[in-house]
Structure 1
Amino acid sequence: MNILLLFLFGLLSISQLGAQEITRFRLMTFNILQGGGNAKNVGFGNDLYGGSRIDEITSAIKIARADIVGIQEDCSIKSNIILNELGEGWFRAGKLYSKFPAKLIHSNKDRSLEVVDVKLASSRVVRIVNCHWWPNNYGPFLAQGKLRADPRVELNSLAKLVEAKGARRGGTRGYRATIAPTEEAIEEKRAIFLLGDFNEPSHLDWTEHYAKNGSDRWVDNPTGIPLRLPVQWPGSVLLENIGMVDSFRQVHVDEVQKPGNTWTPPYSQRTPGRRPYGDQVLDRIDRVYHHGNNVKVVSAQVVGEKGDTSDIVIRGRWPSDHRAVVIEYMWKN
């Protein structure tokens, strides 16, 4: 009798665990810089990480308790080095790694974009779009250049300039390729999640509120004019217009109190291949979006190197020039 009760209790526990996996999951976006390889040209040589950054990258994923992670700059097309390091129980579909079965649906290599279906349960398949927008004509750097040339420049004109010029790189930055599969999933009334390195700020961060109350985004600004003007960044505006919700900003509604910057962790002025850290513009360019009536954001956290910039702190040397972001979701029903 006791053995039977223990057996039934075990079945119940397994059933409850399965229900938890269905109702909640943690989704992460992480630009790992040059595939996690020997990025000595920009100050991330393997010798600084005991021979490889892969250990630190996968440790960050595990410490963040991610169930699904979309990686940008994953160069391991011909190997499963990241998958192997994550260990048993993980699946791979393109540049997305998941504890649930996943299938690559579409890949646009020209735009560094992938569409993946993830099977959370027999009756629940969600679509995830993993994107990496073009870095060229980076809007904040354009603004820096104009301020350097003329600190008296009219800020509204400057905002319009970076909106227009920052959006283009022989075509749009990656907007169209991202919008198409996203809108398709919305029209099919299915849950969709969009994550990536957008290489463009969000209009939800560059606001009037931030312009009046936020800190200077330029680390060491020599112009005397703080870089914190309101800008309607085209990419994030387009995503909002089709109904995509910025998961981090839905939880952390005050962009001054919680900027959530992912670009870029501090580095030595002697770092090769990078502009002086004082010339950097700090921003939240790594983001996760969601759409679906039954989707609720439970938490939104930055994963990185220290407590004043990160909610989840990874000890030791941080392995990328981007911080990561992890969002926990649950189903309302």
Structure 2
Amino acid sequence: MVLAMLAVLIGPVPEARAAADGSLAVSSATVAVGSDVRFQYATPRPQAKNWVGLYADPGNGPVGEAYVGPSLKWVYTPDGSGSGVLATGGLTPGNYVLYYLYNDGYTWLAQPVKLKLTAALPGTLTVADPTVAAGSPVQVSYTTTSANAKNWVGLYRNPGDGPVNQVYVGPSLAWAYTPNASGSATLPTTGLTPGDYIVYYLYNDGYTWLAQPFPIRVTGTGAPRFPSSAFALRNAKVGVAYTAAVGGLVQGGTAGLTLTKTSGPAWASVSVSGVVSGTPTAAGTVTIGVRATSSTGTADATVTVRVQSGVLVPQLRALSWNLWHGGSSVTGGFEKELKFLLDSDADVVGLQENDGAAQRLAGALGWSFHQDGSVAVVSRYPITATGTAIAGRAVAARIDLGARSVRLWSAHLGYTPYGPYDACFGRMGVQQLLNQEAAAGRTGQINTIVSAMGPDLAAASSTPVLLVGDFNAPSHLDWTASNSRCGYGAVPWPTSTAPANAGLTDSYRQAHPNPAAFPGTTWSPVFKTFTGGYGYDSHAGEAEPQDRIDFIHYKGPLTVVSSDALWVGAPSQSNPSANAWPSDHAAVLTVFQVG
């Protein structure tokens, strides 16, 4: 009884250690005092006494993964993935931080998440059922002391373009006026794809919050399904406890969803939530049959696990991918993104035009993620440290590969003016092209990023470094005297010369030295005809200049095994929403042998 009372006061008591290979995200980073902090979590190491605790920031949280002082609020999070709520009653406005911690202890399961508590809001918002099937209405109830004929509720994708900071970002997907001091409203979900959404209660045709936003989930319809019927999970080691998650991958009708093992080695088990776990007994590749069962049907998948006796990750599969507004430009984009990531067998991914997709993708895959605006990193192996974002242009993450770590930078440079248009349509001289690169901001952006990478590049002999991204500019390795592009010879494009001068190597051109034979085009498998704009409307209808503007650069003890520009199917420019490929860029996949 005494121990139970102590637990209520200070949170759990430390017991064991684990790796920070999970994810933690809040539905809103700004919460009014009196409202709930709503969060989502995932870990490949579920324990009945994993927990989430709220601390003042800066304060007495387990910054060094050791007890310093009691949590202000806490709750157990026992599943492989799920959501939770922490009440904020009794707290004062200010900065706080949320920790996701292992097995009654203080070892991080994910990177902490910062949030801000603001003064209490003049209303309340509740949703009758926070999980609805696509096509079913969302029923909301509200109260406020600031009644107005044009108060309203709006439904947005989460995370997405809602008024997170109480200013307009993008249009709502559905909305309704709520003119009374209390009442109810209905928001339709017809046409929405399955995923996470959020309802805002807003003042007088504007974007000032009347209540804390309320997150909801729209589920699919029909039978359950896996995005891919066969895919690999993270590697395992002989004699070392192993976990990976597959439950979040199930799409379609998921009401009453449970997962079971249908085949595979004796050491592997599959929990009802889809956590694959056990301790491998021998090296080799094993296959495990997994069945998803819901109230609407079943789906089967075969997953493979490469069990290593030595190095955990002898080969690293790195991917750079522009998601084209988070996949929202293509019908069913999220599921198509999941399928490609599974089919590509990527280990670490740098994303651009992320629009919050990294959080959703990592949650479904059971991976780690780090995101800032349009750029993000997702990884099937634990992210153990992150770096400060550079003006929303780049983020960095340190990824634990077992015997070795790798530092991954994901970058997205400005897109206008665009060099190939200035060259192929504008016929500018080489110096004019370089001046345009500076005017676009890309030259300064790449120099800032490379400078910030300095400490990582200096340590690359022990911790390899990757710089991946959409640079929105060609490479000097492609525009050469022997490989004419639009009649030009050599052009020293700054966005490629700066990484090279810093000691980074272009992995695609390392694998394919001849740019004429292997152009490696990434812009664009969708747009083959120029549609105008950028000051070149007179060239509309001409062939779109095709070029390689997405890259994976590296430095350190890595050897390029292969590198490819990838997309799926035959994407249509006239009807892109129906494409199987959910982006307008090709992705770049490089396989490295890890030294």
| TM-score under structure 2 length normalisation | 0.44
Q: How does 1:1-333 map to 2 (within 5 A)?
A: 10-13=280-283, 16-17=307-308, 19=310, 21-37=312-328, 39=329, 44=330, 49=331, 52-76=332-356, 80-85=359-364, 87-88=365-366, 90-94=367-371, 95-108=376-389, 110-121=391-402, 123-147=403-427, 158-169=429-440, 172-189=443-460, 190-211=463-484, 226-267=486-527, 276=540, 278-292=542-556, 294-305=557-568, 317-332=580-595
Query: For residues 26 and 171 of structure 1, do their structure 2 counterparts lie closer, same or farther at Cα, with a shift above 3 Å needed?
Result: closer
**Amino acid across the alignment from 1:81:** R
Residues 19 and 177 (structure 1 numbering): CA distance in 2 closer, same or farther, change over 3 Å?
farther
Which sections of structure 2, spanning at least 5 residues, go unmatched? 1-265, 268-278, 285-305, 571-577
Shift, 1:81, TM fit: 2.0
Taking the aligned partners of 1:228 and 1:262, their CA distance within structure 2 comes to: 20
Aligned-residue RMSD, C-alpha: 3.0
What residue identity is the alignment partner of 2:414?
W
Distance 1:258 1:59 in 2: 26
Distance 2:348 2:559 in 1: 17
Report Cα offsets for 1:18-47 as digits up to 9, x if no partner. Answer: 64642111000000011122x3xxxx4xxx
Which region of structure 1 is more displaced relative to structure 2, 191-200 or 11-20? 11-20
Higher relative contact order (CA 8 A, sep 6+): 1
Shift of 1:10: 4.8
Shift of 1:295: 1.0
- Bigger CA drift: 159-168 or 131-140? 159-168
Give me the whole-angstrom Cα distance separating, in 1, the residues matched to 2:417 and 2:560. 32
Moved more, 168-177 or 232-241: 168-177
- Distance (Å, rounded) in 2 between the aligned partners of 1:208 and 1:23: 38
Give the 3 Å change call, closer, same or farther, for CA 303–171 of structure 1 in structure 2. closer
Contact residue 479 and residue 489 of structure 2 kept, 8 A: yes
CA drift at 1:108: 2.5
Which letter does structure 1 place at the counterpart of 2:513?
Answer: V
Higher share of residues assigned helix: 1
Q: Residues of 2 paired with 1:273 and 1:72: CA distance? A: 22
Shift of 1:291: 0.3
Q: State the alpha-carbon separation in 2 of the partners of residues 270 and 201 from structure 1.
A: 17
Q: 1:321 and 1:101, CA in 2 relative to 1: closer, same or farther beyond 3 A?
A: same
Tell me by how many angstroms 1:270 deviates.
Answer: 10
Question: Which residue matches 1:152?
Answer: none
More displaced, 194-203 or 270-279?
A: 270-279
Answer yes or no: is the 8 Å Cα contact 1:134–1:173 preserved in 2.
no
